[in-house]
Structure 1
Amino acid sequence: MTAQAGSTRVIYAALAGNFLIAVTKFGAAFFTGSSAMLSEGVHSLVDTGNEVLLLYGLRKAARPPDEDHPLGHGREVYFWSFIVALLVFALGAGVSFYEGISHLLHPEPVRNIAVNYVVLGLSAVFEGIAWTIALRHFRREKGRLGYIAAVRRSKDPTTFTVLFEDTAALLGLAIAFIAITAAHILAIPELDGAGSIGIGIVLAATAIFLARESKGLLMGEQALPSVRRRIVELAGADPDVVRVNDVLTVHLGPTDIVATLSIEFKDELTTPRLEACVRRIEQRICSELSEVSSVFVRPQSASPM
């Protein structure tokens, strides 16, 4: 399974789960009048829209290069991941804060509390399944790195975006359960509104973290050190290369790297031999490192005049 196919599978699983959960939560909020449940419904609806945007971003990023975009459209996925983070903050967190404050100012007791418990239980099951799928995929991608370190080094925002959204969803369900239960047992309906504010805080923190990571990718990040070292090794192994002075790489997409090499060649090389050497280097790098889509070589001595 390719990395993109794995990411797409994770997104589809989250999309199906969040859509069903959103419909169920809105129905429960209508029958019970729970502010926390309404916030959870908005949360799931926003997550559903986010998955659609991530799939759209992956599809746009897969388009081949054209005259206006000679290096391809790989950064589309970074752009739409950033938009997803903004939506989580503006819609998910914003509506949750609004509902919470509104319910604190005008509290109403929760009706038919059993309906809320059934919906929260089913939502936890569906979200748990989607979260497990996203977690397994992320674990395969991260290797031995810690979770936060893996996110910061990851060049594929779709995987960790879905994982963090699902994690926030599970935390939101826990907050909603506690708020609704406390409001019912203590007969303090304001606690239901406080639950909505708590959900908003979780969503705001998630959105800020996702936006920060997506921004770095959108601006352009270097390839991993292991990839850069291998590029230098492959170029330096050519018999007509004296040394590789420098390598500059940038990710245009999760599996789309552009590399620029500064190389000192043997002085006795004729133009045809130099051209043949450059072709060998480009072919060798792109053949072994499938994520490298373009290689540019600049002949340059170690100490240029």
Structure 2
Amino acid sequence: MSASGGTKAIVAALGANLAIAVAKFVAAAFSGSASMLAEGVHSVADSGNQALLLLGGKKAKKEASEEHPFGYGRERYIYGFLVSIVLFTVGGVFALYEGYEKIAHPHEVEHWYWPVGVLVFAIVAESFSFRTAIKESNQLRGKLSWSQFVRRAKAPELPVVLLEDFGALIGLVLALGGVGLALLTGNGVWDGVGTMCIGALLVVIALVLAVETKSLLLGESADPAEREKIRAAVVDGDTVTRVIHMRTLHLGPEELLVAAKVAVQHDDTAVEIARAIDAAEQRIREAVPIARVIYLEPDIYRATGTEPTTPAEPSDVKSPGA
């Protein structure tokens, strides 16, 4: 995932949410709508979330240090996880609370044209933001479905913005429905029902984001296609004859660690092996450019079934005769 593409989508969402938040709070003040107040808080939370994503992207660019020799690429995962927490608490839980209060103590929506006008404006603005996120994501999604893209993306920014914008649009429709029913029936309870639905939606989205970013924080391997490219690049058929076992780990969205034990000919000299290892590293970087940190350990392959001696990635275990 390109940093520029993610940043463009974040900035578009940030601008839209700031404008919408101001409009929603003005409408809530004039109309007394709980749905408007919940949506205003939701937009503020979204704006803060986008600021967190931008901050995480900036911190991730720090140079590696002696204390952090592999750099700060995972800062983006940490801030992505913080976004899910903010969305859950400030967005979802607050909306559920406001909805409960509105149902328990309903009152008629005043000055209906304020919330309705702001909701229509917000739907248009969020649609532009959502369109930007979709456009940027399509450049990276390939043939993956949207659910697969959200699950497999190694960079958190676009999945977060996509889900936030999707949740915002659905929430706006729910808020419009709640306000509309309250106006039609004269019963303010419907405003609270709409708010409760918004809260439930935000909680679900926050949980999905938390699960996905937690997996990234724990450390995910390269995609299967990238692992196969690395395997093919390592073996030259002359000095390096096979990959005995291999590990890959994302140090950040755009930085991959590769560690592998490779088989070499038993009668090769140390100089020949060193040159073959250097050449293999170069081939890996050409095949998978994000492979920045590479450790290759030469060994003599023993067809005894004892290798690998440590847990392997799914495609690492091969039969001795392979």
TM-score where L is the length of structure 2: 0.92
* Equivalent position SS for 2:117: helix
* Equivalent position SS for 1:63: coil
CA distance, structure 1, for counterparts of residue 234 and residue 124 of structure 2: 51
Contact 1:286 1:294 in 2 (8 A): no
Runs (5+) with no aligned partner, structure 1: none
CA shift at 1:190, angstroms?
Answer: 1.1
**Which residue of structure 2 aligns with residue 196 of structure 1?**
195
**Which residue of structure 2 aligns with residue 253 of structure 1?**
252
CA distance, structure 2, for counterparts of residue 181 and residue 173 of structure 1: 12
Residues 26-47 of structure 1, C-alpha deviation per residue, up to 9 Å, x if partnerless? 1110110000000000000000
CA distance, structure 2, for counterparts of residue 151 and residue 111 of structure 1: 40
**Which residue of structure 2 aligns with residue 121 of structure 1?**
120
Residues 56-97 of structure 1, C-alpha deviation per residue, up to 9 Å, x if partnerless? 111111222111111111111011101100110011011101
Equivalent residues in 2 for 1:87-126 (5 A)? 87-126=86-125
**Structure 1 moving runs of 4+ over 6 Å:** none
Does residue 11 (structure 1) correspond to residue 47 (structure 2)? The answer is no
CA shift at 1:102, angstroms?
Answer: 1.1
Contact 2:62 2:72 in 1 (8 A): yes
Q: Give 1:137's aligned amino acid.
A: E
Contact 1:238 1:277 in 2 (8 A): no
Equivalent residues in 2 for 1:144-293 (5 A)? 144-237=143-236, 239-293=238-292
Residues 184-243 of structure 1, C-alpha deviation per residue, up to 9 Å, x if partnerless? 110111111111111000100000001011111110111011110111111102631121
CA shift at 1:279, angstroms?
Answer: 1.6
Of the structure 1 ranges 4-13 and 229-238, higher mean CA displacement relative to structure 2 is found in 229-238
Q: Give 1:187's aligned amino acid.
A: G
CA distance, structure 2, for counterparts of residue 41 and residue 27 of structure 1: 9
Equivalent residues in 2 for 1:29-68 (5 A)? 29-68=28-67
CA distance, structure 1, for counterparts of residue 72 and residue 294 of structure 2: 17
Residues 231-276 of structure 1, C-alpha deviation per residue, up to 9 Å, x if partnerless? 1111102631121112210111111110011101111222222222
CA distance, structure 1, for counterparts of residue 256 and residue 16 of structure 2: 33
CA distance, structure 2, for counterparts of residue 292 and residue 27 of structure 1: 50
**Identity, % of aligned pairs?**
35
CA shift at 1:278, angstroms?
Answer: 1.5
Residues 161-200 of structure 1, C-alpha deviation per residue, up to 9 Å, x if partnerless? 0000000000000000000010111011111111111100
TM-score where L is the length of structure 1: 0.97
Of the structure 1 ranges 248-257 and 167-176, higher mean CA displacement relative to structure 2 is found in 248-257
Contact 1:245 1:302 in 2 (8 A): yes
* Equivalent position SS for 2:73: coil
CA distance, structure 1, for counterparts of residue 222 and residue 288 of structure 2: 12
CA distance, structure 1, for counterparts of residue 82 and residue 219 of structure 2: 17
Contact 2:107 2:187 in 1 (8 A): no
Contact 1:77 1:253 in 2 (8 A): yes
* Equivalent position SS for 2:275: helix
User: May I ask how many residue pairs the two structures share in their alignment?
Assistant: 304
CA distance, structure 1, for counterparts of residue 235 and residue 63 of structure 2: 30
CA distance, structure 2, for counterparts of residue 128 and residue 171 of structure 1: 11
* Equivalent position SS for 1:139: helix
Runs (5+) with no aligned partner, structure 2: 308-322
Contact 2:239 2:264 in 1 (8 A): yes
Q: Which of the two has greater helix per residue?
A: 1
CA distance, structure 2, for counterparts of residue 47 and residue 20 of structure 1: 12
Contact 1:36 1:193 in 2 (8 A): yes
